[in-house]
Amino acid sequence: MATDVITLDHGSGGKLSHQLIAGTVAPLFDNPILSRLDDGAVFAVDGARLAFSTDTFVVDPIFFPGGNIGDLAINGTVNDLAMCGAEPLYLSLGLIIEEGFPFGDLKRVLQSMRDAADAAGVGIVTGDTKVVPKGAADKLFINTSGIGRIRKGVNVSAHRAAVGDPIILSGSMADHGMAVLTQREGLAFETDLVSDTASLNGMVEQMLAVCPDIHTLRDPTRGGVGSTLNEIAAAARIGIRIYEDRLPVKKAVAGVCELLGFDPLYVANEGKLLAFVPEDQVQAVLETMRSHPRGKEAAVIGQAVSDHPGRVVMETPIGGTRIVDMLAGEQLPRIC
Amino acid sequence: MTGNPDATDFRDPQLARRILARIHEVSQTPIRLMEVCGTHTMSIFRSGIRSLVPETVSLLSGPGCPVCVTDQGEIDAFVQLAQNEDVIVATFGDLIRVPGSDSSLQKERASGRDIRIVYSTLDALDIARKTPEKQVVFLGIGFETTAPTVAASILAADAMGLKNYAVLSAHKRVVPALFALMETPGVCIDGFILPGHVSVIIGADAYRPLFDRFQIPCALAGFEPVDILSAVRLLAECIESGAPQLANAYGRAVTAEGNPKALAVMDQVFQTEDAAWRGLGIIPESGLAIRPEFGRFNARNVFSLNIPDTPPPKGCICGDILRGVKTPPECALFGTRCTPISPVGPCMVSSEGTCAAYYRYQLS
Ligand code: SF4
């Protein structure tokens, strides 16, 4: 079947998103910085190494338990920079507002952006606002871009994940995606799920302080832990083996996932990270993470292996094995 | 989907390992067991059961994935309906990507048609209430698991006086399909792992005629690895001892007579009709049509739809796969022209489809 229009699958964070970017966007702008396809671009200016990243937020609904589109937009870009091993410095802010959007809501969103920026220690230093006619956008879309500085000796990239690296996940999966989904109009049940949206740069800084040689950091947002691990396996040409009984999922989240037929491995997170670290330093990193509020439940969920390069394989609790593929279809549109 | 407080016992890995050891001990002759239900298929793949059972045990997936058994003509009818500008189509997410003969619901949605993914018929009723200027059509697919809730939505719409809600019913019944399967030449099945959810509704006794007629070992099973392994063990024991049984290994949820309330609602709204199944052809009394009394909620009447008789996609062997005659890797298109991103047949689209399960989970 020929796919000749953009469908929501292209925005899922899974295979089609990947194909769209790697097949259509990246080749056109081809350059060595872009082609690494990490969470942000890394380059040197006058000897200083900088990370530069951008992200656009279209989450629906705008307000959800645990946050709103505003703090999500700050945390998203802050985290993308942190995943490059950078200390986030400055952010820009672009607003696309639909005509008729309540002023009070805008103020609330902006206030939480301010709070999130303060919490992450970044400044919003430039911005732009556009208002479009009713129907030309849905309520409010936000773009944030940011730059950060990378310390000497730090070199974090998906390409550096190496055979033998233990893989750490900083906490429970699927909190954000399921919290947003259960708020959507039309979902006829109430739950008390809360998004995990949070900035991770503080914890990353401490992690890099104990282990500057961390190989890979990624925040498993759209497409979830499953898709992110696949991206890393492909970029680093390694195999990945994870253990299902080590994957943390909150009970309530697991329940809703099961009810609605979602696999937590593919549901978005907004305040979690995956780290590939040198084997001899895993304990130090793990302890640092666990002593930080964002990483209390950090756990080693698997390791990089030489078998099945490019593939993620999971061992199930009963001892069976199966592939964890990249998300193929649309799991949840407009989740971030 | 257990929501069952003691379900954790049924996830106990130690228990699973013990049952596995027993299966290895009993199973001598090669046996072909069919899991009828798509949810079983997924659980089997996701828990890696296929990598753990002895070589003598082959697990085949049957006609139990609702999207997969939906006839090509019906898929085309869904798309036709979506092309009508006065209609909002409400559907479960799985149908959205199934390729019709020349479009899909997903493509229609991308080109501006109003197609909404819902998680229950309540959501569909809600949409109808909120948009009185449009006709809302719910695409009713699935077995006796979903049929009662769809029937209930029609009763609710009737009670609310909703004039803009209709259902396009392509609902199917499991037992007639198993009869048809057993009578199909070339099909070779030594035992059935019978569905859990469906059986909660129809009850264990519903399979009695099938068992009496074919004397084929049957085990009703829940969805946790332990449930499925218990069923495999039971079937292996039956087959080895030459004493077929109709066993209920899901007693915590399934009774002999089923759920009388759900059955009554279903019976009030639906009547059986001959229905076309992908891969199995027309099976007598295997479909659920909306009774004439509720004709105004029947999308077939409301839109005078005629469901085209379209052949399945070229090269796709979904039909053979649904009969357990072939496995996905035997399809020339599997993994090459047909992948979950650009699926050729429904078995690659549905989250419960056998081809999707092989592609996603099976380590070759
Ligand atoms: S692999 Fe694709 S084409 Fe082949 S049987 Fe499965 S769905 Fe049909």
pLDDT of residue A331: 56
pLDDT above 70 (res B8): no
Structure pTM? 0.82
pLDDT above 60 (res A1): no
Compare all CA atoms of chain B with the CA of A251 and give the residue at the minimum distance: B3
Q: Indicate the pLDDT class of residue A335, thresholds 50, 70 and 90.
A: confident
- Is A113 inside any structural domain? yes
pLDDT above 90 (res B170): yes
- Is A333 inside any structural domain? no
pLDDT of B138-147, one tens digit each?
999 999 999 9
Nearest to A159 by CA among A231, A83, A81, A101: A231
Strand B57-61 with B31-35, pairing? parallel
Confirm if B169 and B140 have CB atoms less than 8 A apart: yes
Last residue of a domain, one of A104, A134, A150: A150
Domain extent for A179 = 158-323
* ipTM, interface predicted TM-score of the complex: 0.73
> In the predicted model, what is the mean pLDDT of residues A146-151?
96
pLDDT of residue B4: 37
Q: How far apart are CA B198 and CA B19, in angstroms?
A: 25
Tell me the β-bridge partners of B79: none
CATH number, domain with residue A137: 3.30.1330.10
pLDDT above 80 (res A184): no
- Is A331 inside any structural domain? no
- A175 lies in the same domain as A246: yes
- Is A276 inside any structural domain? yes
Helix (H) or strand (E) holding B181: helix B174-183
Residue A303 in tokens: 């390791």
- Is A65 inside any structural domain? yes
- A27 lies in the same domain as A144: yes
- A123 lies in the same domain as A165: no
**CA B328 / ligand 1 centre spacing (Å):** 7
- Is A334 inside any structural domain? no
**Average pLDDT along chain B:** 91
pLDDT above 60 (res A248): yes
- A89 lies in the same domain as A186: no
- Is A330 inside any structural domain? no
Subunit contact A320:B51, Cβ cutoff 8 A: yes
* Interface subset of B 98-137, CB within 8 angstroms of A: 99, 104, 106-107, 109-111, 116, 118-120, 122-123, 126-127
Q: Indicate the pLDDT class of residue A46, thresholds 50, 70 and 90.
A: very high
- A146 lies in the same domain as A168: no
Subunit contact A319:B363, Cβ cutoff 8 A: no
pLDDT above 50 (res A89): yes
- A171 lies in the same domain as A296: yes
Is the minimum CB–CB distance between A5 and chain B shorter than 8 Å? yes
pLDDT of A307-321, one tens digit each?
999 999 999 999 999
Domains and CATH numbers, chain B: 1-314 (3.40.50.11740), 318-362 (no CATH)
* Interface subset of B 308-347, CB within 8 angstroms of A: 339-344
* Residue A24 DSSP code: I
CATH number, domain with residue A233: 3.90.650.10
Set of chain B residues whose Cβ sits within 8 Å of the Cβ of A3: 342
- A122 lies in the same domain as A171: no
- A107 lies in the same domain as A245: no
- Is A244 inside any structural domain? yes
Set of chain A residues whose Cβ sits within 8 Å of the Cβ of B1: 258-259
pLDDT of B50-90, one tens digit each?
999 999 999 999 998 898 999 999 999 999 999 999 999 99
**Average pLDDT along chain A:** 92
- A122 lies in the same domain as A174: no
Last residue of a domain, one of A123, A150, A177: A150
Nearest to A138 by CA among A82, A176, A172, A185: A185
Last residue of a domain, one of A98, A133, A150: A150
Q: Indicate the pLDDT class of residue A330, thresholds 50, 70 and 90.
A: low
- A106 lies in the same domain as A181: no
- A117 lies in the same domain as A203: no
- A43 lies in the same domain as A183: no
Tokens 């999922």 label which residue? Answer: A249
Phi-psi region of A269 (alpha: psi -120 to 50; beta: other; left: phi over 0): beta
For chain A, the domain total comes to 2
> In the predicted model, what is the mean pLDDT of residues B256-266?
96
**Could you check whether the bond before residue B13 is cis, i.e. omega within 30 degrees of 0?**
no
Of the partner residues A1, A5, A318, the one whose CB lies closest to the CB of residue B16:
A318
Tell me the β-bridge partners of A98: A132
